[in-house]
Structure 1
Amino acid sequence: MDQFTMLARKEEDAQRHQKPAATDAKQQGGTAMDLSGGDNKQLWTRVKKRLWASVGEDVFNSWFARLELVELDGDLAHLSVPTRFLCSWILSNYQDRIIEAFQGENQDVQTLQITVRVNGQVQTKQTAKQDEPAAQTTPTPKVSATIRTGAKHNARIKQGDALSGSALDPKLTFDTFVAGSANEMALGAAKQVAQAVAQNAVTFNPVYIHSSVGLGKSHLLNAIAWAAGGADKSRNVVYLTADHFMYHFISAVQRQSAISFKEWLRGIDVLLIDDMQFLQGKSVTEFGQALSALLSGAKQVVVAGDAPPNGLEMLDDRLRSRLSGGLVVPIRSLDEELRRAIVEKRAEQALAKYPGLHIPSQVLDYVAKKVISHGRDLDGSINRLVAANQLTGEPITIDLAEKALHDLMRTRDTRRVKIDEIQIMVAKHFKVSKPDLLSSRRSRSVVRPRQIAMYLSKMLTSRSLPEIGRRFGNRDHTTVLHAVRKVEQLMSEDNGFAQEVELLKRMIED
């Protein structure tokens, strides 16, 4: 049991002993009865399993273990927790995760309500007294889409099956996005798309943003959706994760309403697809057809993935060409200056929520230097420091940061990369065989990948030039040195080539 869980439970025990619990539930104006029903109990068990799989055992035990289902009423999921701090923390940091977990079992759930249990009792909204504090209710924001179908097909779509986008995060806007050298091009493209949409125009189309995990792709897509949708409420802006797109497609096939689904896609004004790498099966073909129709109709499309289009193996040549034909923008790894700006911004946001909170600049410097994996870990670092301060009253210091962020700092230990891994990754990327890289073949299709593999072996391992040469078919060390210098020259002259090598480097390091 970690320190946060222990302290939260102490708070729960203290609240429980403030006054004796009444023996009659009606005397308290509430009820201790099981309100969820057998079916909903089973659903809640499945939802908790999804949460556990999503956040991991430690986080689940700290924040979700004492969540209880009170009732399900239409699109509302009403939960309860034992303390006010736990209620506030979950609503601030995990409400989207909970909604997603519910929707994985029941798509009707759209809104989350969390109330604080008093002396083990909780009130449903039907029995709540008017003089008691209002329950904290936070609807999940979403951009919904109107189904534009002919009368012939309307009957196939039942009420409640209306197609909609994935949930948007209200915190992910352009105002909260922290810019730096690693993401300035992607941010500029995203803002230009949003401005053009607001003027009923289309700029670069499609736009494809790629990076490794946690560097801001989803943030930019959410920001475009908020900006484009806010400018004109009638505009049909849809943000979809790849798994949500596949869910809609599979559901349409099962309901025999595929035609309505296609017409809904063609009626979208701005389509934002996230996590493109997870799109699989026939839904890839469906997306390709929708993309062609939207581009032909001059509708804006923005896609995000963890690799550029030519690095996504599940795409066919036509779809890969369509995506590559637009604006392809990378987001690079965060440098220390940008990491420092991000933690400072998150600290300012935390201060607005918790007046009196103080995070010294030395601690922010320490976090930016030590937590180097990605932006979500930086956000999580500030959240942990705030939680530790609020739960224990301990001032935020470097010592506290060392204790609270120990596991996040492990990511600083660079994984030991092997030359064999580099050869396999480069061969796969350039669609040549590993034996070709080690052979004496001199064709350009083999020489360039071989030089890149030698360059990456020099950059990512501690092996000497002679040893690298031996691993590449017993070549002389001067051959390796020539390859390294050649790749460096090409990277300085060709930005596209430099991006490709940088992508390979990130993929190998990950």
Structure 2
Amino acid sequence: MQEKSYQDVWNNCLTIIRDNVTAQNFKTWFKPIKAVALENKTLTIQVPSQFCFEWLEKHYLTLMKKTIMREIGKDAKLEYNILLENSSDKKPYISKVPSSEQADIKNYPISMPISTYSSSIRNPFIIPGLQKININPQLNESYTFNAYIEGECNRLARSAGFAVSQNPGGTSFNPLFIYGSGGLGKTHLANAIGIEVKNNHPERIVLYVSADKFLTQFVDAIKDNKRNDFVHFYQSIDVLIIDDVQFLCGKEKTQDVFFHIFNHLHQNKKQIILTSDKAPVDIIGMEQRLLSRFKWGLSADLQSPDLETRLAILNKKIKKDGIDIPYEVVEHIAYSITTNVRELEGALISLLAQSSLNKKEITIDLAKNMLDKFVKNTVREVSIDFIQKVVCDYFDI
């Protein structure tokens, strides 16, 4: 007698299942399923999403196992191929997951209709024994704590971030809200936290995403009628890092879905890290219920780097790149660029480019000439340090 193919087995199963669920439920949950293999009495079916997999396991596990055992035998097993979407390029990939073994299924004749499985699992998004999905955290590996220069301007934020990375979700800094003007190191610090979490807790799912990317993904999910999949994907994250959260301002539907994701993560002691160019109290266009939650944890600001920090940043970059620059040139750049780290490093790169392209030695005169153009529209800091330097240079002391 010829053995049944996996298509025949699954088609026979669907005939039985159709008689035991409503027409709408059959169309929603079972029609999209495809049988893909039958080996060693293990039937593999492909489901369109993680959410679909978990719904089937929660509501229809007993029905499916009884039906499959009737077709294959008492040793029958069920496995899933779950189509998942890569968060970076949207290309689908497959996660292979065995069916939950929590239900004790006996091989006895099926009487119609079969009552559906009543699960004892309280949270439909958490299934005991479910394997973690391998998600690209989208972190910039060069943005580490070692590469992050600490100073008075960022000490609180850095210390809080490091504490979070050691015990994500287990500190009072949840959410950790990091704010400050552009170029002060918010993105670097957020990435450093994520990298340190992965180093200390490789089993945790970490995801860094800009608010703009989050918004785009949500719009795409709505267009594709995959809102539930979108929500569940983000609810499965252990450490969620959202950069420039202020870009959600004025986006009511996106704020609403983020509100529910935020609540789920926080209630399940998952870590949330947010960055913004403004403190929560100064953000306009964000729902009050979200702003109040932003204040649940710690809000830490990043300020413009002081002279000592600016010198340390420049010296670290020079050492890293193996460049030989006179100290007076480094000092002049540090005194001249007072706004943020991005412009400070940009000035150094511009100086190196001027020297390399024009085949000129790096001197204080070259630096002054370049910086006069670089900071033409920038108000320089007239500080005590700057005044002392000018006086000392003038009197050669």
TM over 0.5: yes
Matched residues in 1 for 2:286 and 2:206: separation?
Answer: 24
Give the alignment's TM-score, normalised by structure 1: 0.48
Query: In structure 1, which of residues 321, 327, 341 is the aligned counterpart of residue 298 of structure 2?
Result: 327
- On the 8 A contact 1:202/1:299 being kept in 2, the answer is no
CA distance in 2, matches of 1:156, 1:211: 36
Partner of 1:436: none
Correspondent of 2:339 among 367, 373, 393: 373
- Shift of residue 164, structure 1, vs aligned partner: 6.2
Alpha-carbon distance between aligned partners in 2 of 1:373 and 1:263, rounded to the nearest angstrom: 41
What is the Cα deviation at residue 209 of structure 1?
0.8
1:169 is the counterpart of 2:140 = yes
**CA positional deviation for 1:391:** 3.0
**Counterparts of 1:235-384 in structure 2 under 5 Å?**
235-280=204-249, 281=251, 282-351=253-322, 357-384=323-350
Q: Distance in 1 between matches of 2:286 and 2:205?
A: 26
Residue 249 to residue 348, structure 1, CA distance change in 2 (3 Å): same
Matched, 1:193 2:159: no
User: Partner of 1:304: helix, strand, or coil?
Assistant: strand
What is the identity, as a one-letter code, of the residue corresponding to 2:360? E
Q: Is the 8 A contact 2:218 2:230 kept in 1?
A: yes
Tell me the distance in 2 between the aligned counterparts of 1:294 and 1:167. 19
Alignment of 1:206-245 (within 5 A): 206-245=175-214
RMSD of Structure 2 on Structure 1 (CA): 2.5
Cα deviation 1:331-379 (Å, max 9, x = unaligned): 122222211111111111121xxxxx31111011000010112110111
2:337·2:380 contact (CA, 8 Å) conserved in 1?
no
Q: What is the CA distance between 1:314 and its match in structure 2? A: 1.8
- Equivalent-residue separation in structure 2 for 1:334 and 1:410 (angstroms): 20
Q: Which amino acid aligns with 2:214?
A: F
1:157 and 1:293 map into 2 onto residues whose CA distance is 21
Determine the structure 2 residue equivalent to 1:149: 51
Give the fraction of aligned pairs with identical amino acids, expressed as a percent. Answer: 30
Pair 1:160 & 2:91 matched = yes
TM-score by length of 2: 0.61
Q: Measure the CA separation in 1 of the matches of 2:259 and 2:182.
A: 24
Counterparts of residues 1-16 of structure 1 (less than 5 Å): none
Unaligned runs of 5+ in 2: 1-48, 57-81, 94-133, 382-397
1:384-427 Cα offsets, whole Å, 9 max, x none, are 22233333432211222233334432243279xxxxxxxxxxxx
Quote the residue 1:391 is aligned against. 357
Q: 2:352 corresponds to which letter in structure 1?
A: V
Could you give the per-residue CA deviations for residues 171-228 of structure 1, whole angstroms, max 9, x where no partner exists?
211001011111000000010000113xx84441111011111111111001011111
Pick closer, same or farther for the CA change 1:371–1:414 going to 2, 3 Å.
closer
**Structure possessing the higher radius of gyration over alpha carbons:** 2
| Contact 2:338 2:380 (C-alpha < 8 Å) held by counterparts | no
Q: Kindly provide the CA deviation profile for residues 424-468 of structure 1, in whole angstroms up to 9, marking residues without a partner as x.
A: xxxxxxxxxxxxxxxxxxxxxxxxxxxxxxxxxxxxxxxxxxxxx
Distance in 1, Cα, partners of 2:208 & 2:171: 17
Residue 177 of structure 2 contacts residue 274 of structure 2 at CA under 8 Å; is this kept in 1? yes
- Closer/same/farther in 2, CA of residues 156 and 383 from structure 1, 3 Å limit: closer
The letter for the 1-side match of 2:284 is E
| Aligned-partner Cα distance in 1 for 2:344–2:280 | 28
How has the CA–CA distance of structure 1 residues 155 and 367 changed in structure 2, closer, same or farther, with 3 Å as cutoff?
closer
Relative contact order (alpha carbons < 8 A, sep ≥ 6): 1 or 2 greater? 2
Q: 1:168 to 1:289 in 2, by over 3 A?
A: same
Q: How does 1:370-449 map to 2 (within 5 A)?
A: 370-413=336-379
